[in-house]
A = this chain, B = another copy of it.
Amino acid sequence: MANSILPAAVRIVEMGPRDGLQNEKQLVSTDTKLELVRRLERAGLKAIETTSFVSPKWVPQMGDNAELLPRVLAAAAPGVAYPVLTPNLKGFEAALAAGAREVAVFGAASESFSQKNINCSIAKSLERFRPVTEAAHAAGVRVRGYVSCVVGCPYEGAVAPQAVADVAATLLEMGCYEVSLGDTIGVGTPAGIRRMLEAVAKRVPVVKLAGHYHDTYGMAVANVFASLEMGVAVFDASVGGLGGCPYAAGASGNVATEDVVWLMNGLGIDTGIDLEALVDTAAWISAQLGREPASRVARAVLAKRAKTACA
């Protein structure tokens, strides 16, 4: 509970180019995505999920993956990871051909979500990833794991912490170097997040866990804070709060990277990220999409700048 037990530094994994843009209706150009990645690098992000290797039939926005990733990697910034999502072996092979050095696989903690989303059971979906992780390890490619619906599911409501622990443990056992726990629909509050983390931490060391919290109901920053108090030191976030909720159009998506950085700055926790450059990036990508940033920090910082500029 005391500040002294909080981590001294956290790693933020930027989701903007992938999770942030994937549900965007208007097609974002490859040039714009590339520029987004470059701006994120300059702001100090050290892990930027760049795209996903899924069928363009399902996610047309990621249809330029085979063009984007090589362009990103051609001028990769030193020490920056560019993971890409790979739902199956075919996707993995395409990612590898495009030069991927890190991929991500995922499993749901909710049976109904797994069935409705990918039309198979959780167990079956995890088995499908086994050849991916094996091929990845054979190729020296790092694999990150995601668990979705870690506290609630749009179809079945509350999700048992034990179900999350089972999926997380399986992903670890398959060789994922880290497991990111996703409150996909943003319904969690600190109590539920902690119960879930307690269950998972019995199976997966907390240093291998990341928090991936959506801000649909405005709880994400509080959930990040509660997770910090449990020792979690890696968080996924999306610049400008990009990425609405596909289950509730008009609602918020990923927690904004700026909001997480503001929190960490206030807690004296190092992120290595330049908040002003990040706000610039949020303003820039939001303008590209024709809207205001969803992030409160971006809005407040921009409003303050505008006021100072007028004064």
Contacts and interface: CB of A to CB of B under 8 A. Distances in A.
A295 interface: yes
Interface in A218-256: 218-219, 221-222, 224-226, 229, 245, 247-252, 256
Given A186-B300, A188-B266, A191-B267, A295 B218 contact: yes
Contact of A3 (B194, B222, B252, B268): B194
Copies of this chain present: 2
B307 A249 contact: yes
A300 B263 contact: no
Contacts of A265: 189
Given A189-B262, A189-B263, A267-B190, A300 B251 contact: yes
A295 B191 CA distance: 21
A192 B3 CA distance: 10
Contacts of A300: 186, 216-217, 245, 248, 250-252
Interface of A: 1, 3, 6, 186-192, 194, 215-219, 221-222, 224-226, 229, 245, 247-252, 256, 259, 262-263, 265-268, 295-297, 299-300, 302-304, 306-307
